[in-house]
Amino acid sequence: MDISTILIIAFILIIDIVLIGIDIKNKLIFKGINKYKIIMPILVVGFVVVTFLSNNYRLQDIIVGIAILPLAFIGNKRGITENGFLVNSYVMIWDRVESFSSEEKDNKYIIKYKTNIGQKKVTFKAENKEEIKKYLQVTKRIKYIIK
pLDDT, one tens digit per residue, over 45-93 is 888 788 778 877 777 777 777 788 887 777 778 889 888 888 877 888 8
How far is Cα of residue 120 from the mean position of the Cα atoms in its chain?
13
Sign for the CA dihedral angle at 15, 16, 17, 22 comes to positive
Name residues whose C-beta falls within 8 Å of residue 97's C-beta, 6 or more positions apart in sequence: 84, 85, 113, 114, 115, 142, 143
Per the CB < 8 A criterion, the answer to whether 104 and 14 are in contact is no
Predicted TM-score (pTM) above 0.85: no
